Amino acid sequence: MNENYLFFVDPSLPEDVKNSCKVAQRMLEKCRQWIPEDAKFRGTTHTGAFICSRIEERLTEYRSGERNKIVVTGYYDSKTSAIGETTQLGYRVNLAKKLAIQERVGNSVHEIMHLLGYTHSFFWTPWRKNTVPYAVGYMARDKSYNYIKEVL
C-alpha cells in the first residue's frame, strides 16, 4: 500500500484504529470500485460519481502536501452513542466503543465525508441513514472485507 499521506494517527491509539485508517485510505483511493456512480443521497443532488470526484480531488491535495494530514485522536465517553466526531483538524474516535474493524473503517469514511462538507442532522431521523456521511460510511463498512485483506 502507498505511504500514509492522509492521516496523522495519535501513536497511543489502539492498533485497530490505526489499521482502520490504513484501510479507509485505501478504500477512498479506490472509491469508484465501491460507491455506485448513480447513487443518490438525502440532502444533496450529488451522485456517487460526483462524490468520488470530490474524494479524488481532496486525496490529490493531501498527497501533494497542499493540505495537512487529517489528525485522528481518541477520547472516552461511555454515555453517548457517538463513535466519533469531526474536529477542526480531523476527527476523534470514541475509544469507549469496542467495534469491529469494519465498523471503524465505516466511521473513518463517515467522518471524512464531514470534512468534505457533507452533513446530517444531529438527532436521529428516519432519513439520516441516507445522508452522504451515513450512506457512504455504511457502504465502506459493508465493502471493507477485501480491502482489509489487501491492506493488513
Return the residue matching grid coordinates 482502520. Answer: 20
CATH class of 7-146: alpha beta
Query: What is the predicted pLDDT for the residue at 1?
Result: 43
Spans of the chain, pLDDT less than 70: 1-2
C-alpha cell belonging to residue 98: 469496542
Task: Map out the domains of the chain as residue ranges.
Answer: 7-146
Main-chain dihedrals φ then ψ at residue 117, nearest 5 degrees: 105, 0
C-alpha cell belonging to residue 90: 480531523
Query: What is the predicted pLDDT for the residue at 2?
Result: 54
Query: What is the predicted pLDDT for the residue at 114?
Result: 94
Query: What is the predicted pLDDT for the residue at 64?
Result: 93
* Tens digit of each residue's pLDDT (9 = 90 or more) over 114-152: 999 999 888 888 888 999 999 999 999 999 999 999 999
Query: What is the predicted pLDDT for the residue at 127?
Result: 86
